[in-house]
Amino acid sequence: MKARGMCRGILAASAIFALLIACATAPKPAQASTETAKPSAAAQAVPATPTKPTAAAPDDIRAQASEVRKKAFDLGVKDALPDDYAAAESAYSAGVAAYGVDNAASGASFADAKAKFGDVIRRGLPMLVSAEKDRAVHARDTAVQKKAGDLFPALLADADADFAKPAASESSGDYETALAGYRASTLDFDVLYKLCDASGARDFLVSHDLAKWDTSNWTLAEGKYASSQSLFRQDAHASSDAVDEAILRYGNVRNTAYGYYAADRKKASETERDRAIGIKSDVAVKDEYDAANAMYAKAESDENAKDHEASSAEYDGAAAAFAAAYTHAKGKMDRAKSELDSLDSAIATAEAAQSR
């Protein structure tokens, strides 16, 4: 029994020793796998979407389109071909809207606009030349009707010489030069007929001795009138401005003069009215007096409305009418007095006869 117990102790000790040896020994490394490790789906990199190359800003074609657009505007082809001009403008606006957003589309729109504006210029220029030539002819006819040939023969001759020049350019197809020439001629003839108007206004003031009523405006008007003529060959635009001011100043003189003149004519009319009332014209010749008084009221109304020219004439008419009423009333009074004198004489004669 004792020997059996000893054997069990030895076996137990051996088992424990073996267990301790197993725990102390390092584990055998696992055999390396020959397969490449695959990353998990979450760790895989998402490939970047390729970026479409951005077109460069179409600055050159935009500048070219802008230049042709400005030329079309300056020439005024919009008046000749309004619908085509609008289509070119629409293409240009599309280019501006797409610029920096879709430069390829922007460049295409600017190229389209450039072509459209160029076509409008090409087709519209001959039309503009024809219309401007007609305007120049009409302006010349107006100047001639206003006696420019008599009043300003040298200036008209110079304007006619310039008007003949654009014809050669028009015939050769140089429409831009022809257009500029005809426009210059239109301006020349415009200045000429306005000079005729200024001359007429000036003559009226001189013939009616009205300049004295507004010497300041008269002096300025005279200076601008002379300046317009001297500038005609050098600077038609300045000449036009000068004659416009001359006409304005002459008008101011006329208005001022008629203002004073109307006041003077009003006094004359009132003098005649008072004289007519003095002998009871408003009773003796009532209809005539009332008509004269109506003319006076109309004159006063026009004077208050600053229509001095009309009121002056109406005051003169009223004065004449009051004078006529006075004459007729006095005639009646004189006849009545004569009849009374005759009656008195007859009575006196009768009384003398009876006393004898």
Residue 135 placed within a domain:
yes
Report the share of the chain in percent with pLDDT over 70.
81
- Is the same domain home to 202 and 286? no
CB-based contact 92:115 (threshold 8 Å) = no
- Is the same domain home to 100 and 187? yes
- Is the same domain home to 146 and 271? no
Q: Which of 24-38, 93-107, 252-266 has the highest mean pLDDT?
A: 93-107
Q: Of 15-29, 117-131, 136-150, 228-242, where does mean pLDDT reach its minimum?
A: 15-29
State the average pLDDT over residues 57-84: 96
pLDDT(13) > 60: no
Cα separation, 247 vs 243, in Å, equals: 6
CB-based contact 266:277 (threshold 8 Å) = no
Residue 150 placed within a domain:
yes
- Is the same domain home to 302 and 192? no
Domains identified in the chain, total number: 2
Q: Where are the alpha helices (DSSP H) in the chain?
A: 2-24, 59-75, 77-80, 82-98, 103-145, 148-151, 153-164, 166-172, 175-207, 215-231, 236-278, 281-284, 286-304, 308-355
- Is the same domain home to 196 and 277? no
pLDDT tens per residue, range 238-264:
999 999 999 999 999 999 998 888 888
**Structure confidence at residue 11 as a pLDDT band (50, 70, 90):** very low
Cα separation, 308 vs 354, in Å, equals: 68
Which is more confident, 265 or 58? 58
State the average pLDDT over residues 18-40: 43
- Is the same domain home to 145 and 279? no
Q: What does 54-116 look like in DSSP terms, one character per residue?
A: PPPP-HHHHHHHHHHHHHHHHHTHHHH-HHHHHHHHHHHHHHHHHTTTSHHHHHHHHHHHHHH
Q: Look at residue 336 in the predicted model and tell me its pLDDT.
A: 73
Site of tokens 């301790």: 20
pLDDT(339) > 80: no
The average confidence (pLDDT) of the chain is 85
Residue 161 placed within a domain:
yes
- Is the same domain home to 85 and 151? yes
Q: Look at residue 149 in the predicted model and tell me its pLDDT.
A: 97
Residue 238 placed within a domain:
no
Residue 47 placed within a domain:
no
- Is the same domain home to 86 and 161? yes
Enter the pTM of the model: 0.67
State the average pLDDT over residues 232-236: 96
- The tokens describing 330, both together, are 């006095």
pLDDT(306) > 70: yes
Report the share of the chain in percent with pLDDT over 90.
62
pLDDT(102) > 90: yes
**Structure confidence at residue 283 as a pLDDT band (50, 70, 90):** confident
pLDDT tens per residue, range 260-281:
888 888 899 889 899 989 888 8
Distances (CA, A) of 9 to 2, 6, 13, 14: 11, 5, 6, 9
CA 118 to centroid of chain Cα atoms: 28
Q: Look at residue 302 in the predicted model and tell me its pLDDT.
A: 86
- Is the same domain home to 314 and 174? no
Residue 190 placed within a domain:
yes
- Is the same domain home to 160 and 299? no
- Is the same domain home to 78 and 200? yes
Residue 203 placed within a domain:
yes
Cα separation, 85 vs 7, in Å, equals: 122
Q: Look at residue 54 in the predicted model and tell me its pLDDT.
A: 66
Cα separation, 301 vs 287, in Å, equals: 21
**Structure confidence at residue 307 as a pLDDT band (50, 70, 90):** confident
Q: Look at residue 50 in the predicted model and tell me its pLDDT.
A: 43
- Is the same domain home to 71 and 187? yes
**Structure confidence at residue 343 as a pLDDT band (50, 70, 90):** low
pLDDT tens per residue, range 179-220:
999 999 999 999 999 999 999 999 999 998 999 999 999 999
Residue 116 placed within a domain:
yes
Cα separation, 78 vs 237, in Å, equals: 24
- Residue numbers of the domain that contains 328: 265-334
